């Protein structure tokens, strides 16, 4: 079956059958489809879409392009996935919270995509941490600590791994069927018993309005359930960064501070605990989401979650004292610079995508798939919507490796923040639970 004819059919608006989709996925995973052909297929799907059956066929074909895990553990296997945002380091806290509550979380994460940060890039900032372990090590760490946050190995959904990188640099990220298939192929390959989706909505998300976010949530839950995977979704706000930090090492530091209780951003805490409660309820570890929320809060406040996080880091090759001494282990940028507010008033709006692009311009993301990521750069102290600032007050602190990069990031940040006289009321951080 010719790859070019499959692309032509989708370009012309045809519905692809399972055999055509399987052939395309085989071409992606084996390299028989060139990078240009994969990009053309992605763009055809972006404009022509896929129906539910096509999306399910694409998901299952990508799942079956590599290994599929089966677990034999004394508790439920459950995971979460976010559709991507800015300052979204939830996974780093969520996996150990759920593990400390009796779940097993084999979290297979991706790298940064477009303007959004990637959990895998964050974990790679920890010295010695093996983010792409062997299947044997992955299984052992999950069994012994309750969770492991890793990236795709070469044998796990390899078709998606290649497709993901090409989508990142060809402006085809926002396609609902492609997002659905990418996420669920990895999660189904991980052998999960349940999945909770965090679908981001707002100007820093790939789904920029509620209708599109609902469409994606329904696609994800529908395709997952059709494949036999219990799946619920939360739609959460991304009209401002979720954490007060955006970058890789700076978000890891923010996560450790969250787990230890040194500092917790309020919106980040609300989303993390809500997702944990939903996961515990879906896994049968709590009778309902309210009880799950209480259990998750107890795991966090008791210190059980940070203990799990520390053991996971050590088991995957990171420093034994990472929690206590993370500041000395994480890379630091050569310079820091505050971004002064140009006028007094309240933060009326934040163009969150621009904040993410500021991190990319600093070197904390990728312009092309082959780019290396600078772990040290980013933004901290990001001021929330509605906060009152005086002229000259810092809107954030830039962590950069050159004055030129800091200048470019500062221009992005200043363009992203709107300051007005009246205090605005931010949208609720949790908008819909489905």
Q: What's the chain's Rg over C-alpha atoms?
A: 21
User: Among residues 216, 193, 214, 213, which one has the least CA distance to residue 203?
Assistant: 213
Query: What's the CA gap between 53 and 431, in Å, rounded?
Result: 28
DSSP class of 362? I
Residue 313 in tokens: 């880091």
Q: 382-411 in b/e burial notation, b at 16+ Cβ within 10 A?
A: bbebeeebeeeebbbbbbbeeeebbebbbe
C-alpha angle 200-340-364 in degrees, rounded to nearest 5: 45
Backbone angles phi, psi at 408, to 5 degrees: -65, -40
Residue 102 in tokens: 């009796």
Phi-psi region of 335 (alpha: psi -120 to 50; beta: other; left: phi over 0): beta
Neighbours of 19 (CB within 10 A): 12
Catalytic residue among 29, 82, 153, 180: 82
Catalytic residue among 119, 145, 244, 352: 119
Extended strands (E) in 238-273: 246-247
Q: Is 80 a catalytic residue?
A: yes
Contact 23, 151 (CB under 8 A): no
Query: What's the CA gap between 153 and 108, in Å, rounded?
Result: 9
Non-local CB neighbours of 230 within 8 Å, separated by 6+ positions: 193, 194, 195, 224, 282
Catalytic residue among 161, 187, 399, 412: 187
Query: What's the CA gap between 419 and 119, in Å, rounded?
Result: 31
Q: Is 63 a catalytic residue?
A: no
Q: Is 161 a catalytic residue?
A: no
Query: What's the CA gap between 173 and 170, in Å, rounded?
Result: 8
Q: Is 167 a catalytic residue?
A: yes
Catalytic residue among 161, 167, 264, 412: 167
Catalytic residue among 79, 121, 160, 265: 79
Catalytic residue among 63, 111, 122, 186: 186
Residues written for the chain: 434
Q: Is 200 a catalytic residue?
A: no
β-sheet with 345-350: strand ranges across: 388-389, 345-350, 417-420
β-sheet with 78-82: strand ranges across: 78-82, 194-201, 230-237, 430-433
Catalytic residue among 182, 221, 236, 352: 182
Backbone angles phi, psi at 338, to 5 degrees: -75, 150
Mind telling me the catalytic residues? Answer: 79-82, 119, 167, 182, 186-187
């Amino acid at each position: 079956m010719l790859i070019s004819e499959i692309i032509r059919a989708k370009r012309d608006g045809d519905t692809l059958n399972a055999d055509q989709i399987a052939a395309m996925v085989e071409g992606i995973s084996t390299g028989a489809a060139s990078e240009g052909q994969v990009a053309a297929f992605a763009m055809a799907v972006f404009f022509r879409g896929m129906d539910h059956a096509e999306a399910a066929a694409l998901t299952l074909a990508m799942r079956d392009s590599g290994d599929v895990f089966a677990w034999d553990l004394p508790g439920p296997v459950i995971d979460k996935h976010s559709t991507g945002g800015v300052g979204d380091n939830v996974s780093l806290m969520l996996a150990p919270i759920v593990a400390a509550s009796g779940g097993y979380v084999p979290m297979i994460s991706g790298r940064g995509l477009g303007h959004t940060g990637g959990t895998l890039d964050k974990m790679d900032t920890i010295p010695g941490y093996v983010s792409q372990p062997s299947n044997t090590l992955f299984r052992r760490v999950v069994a012994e600590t309750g969770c492991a946050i890793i990236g795709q190995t070469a044998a796990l959904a390899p078709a998606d791994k290649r497709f993901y990188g090409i989508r990142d640099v060809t402006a085809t990220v926002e396609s609902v069927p492609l997002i659905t298939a990418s996420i669920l192929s990895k999660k189904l390959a991980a052998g999960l018993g349940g999945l909770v989706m965090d679908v981001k909505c707002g100007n820093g998300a790939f789904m920029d309005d509620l209708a599109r976010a609902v469409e994606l949530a329904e696609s994800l839950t529908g395709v997952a359930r059709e494949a036999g995977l219990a799946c619920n979704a939360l739609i959460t706000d991304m009209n401002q960064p979720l954490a007060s930090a955006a970058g890789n090492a700076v978000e890891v530091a923010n996560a450790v501070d969250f787990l230890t209780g040194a500092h917790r951003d309020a919106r980040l805490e609300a989303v993390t605990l809500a997702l944990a409660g939903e996961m515990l309820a879906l896994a049968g570890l709590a009778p309902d989401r309210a009880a799950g929320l209480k259990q998750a809060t107890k795991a966090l406040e008791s210190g059980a979650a940070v203990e799990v996080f520390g053991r996971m880091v050590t088991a995957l090759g990171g420093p034994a004292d990472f929690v206590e001494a993370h500041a000395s282990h994480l890379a630091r940028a050569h310079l820091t610079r505050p971004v002064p507010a140009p006028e007094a008033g309240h933060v009326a709006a934040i163009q969150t995508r621009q904040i993410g692009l500021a991190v990319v311009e600093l070197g904390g993301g990728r312009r092309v798939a082959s780019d290396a990521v600078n772990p040290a750069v980013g933004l901290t102290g990001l001021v929330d919507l509605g906060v009152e600032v005086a002229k000259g007050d810092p809107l954030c602190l830039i962590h950069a490796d050159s004055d030129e990069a800091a200048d470019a990031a500062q221009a992005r940040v200043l363009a992203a923040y709107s300051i007005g006289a009246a205090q605005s009321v931010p949208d609720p951080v949790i908008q819909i639970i489905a």
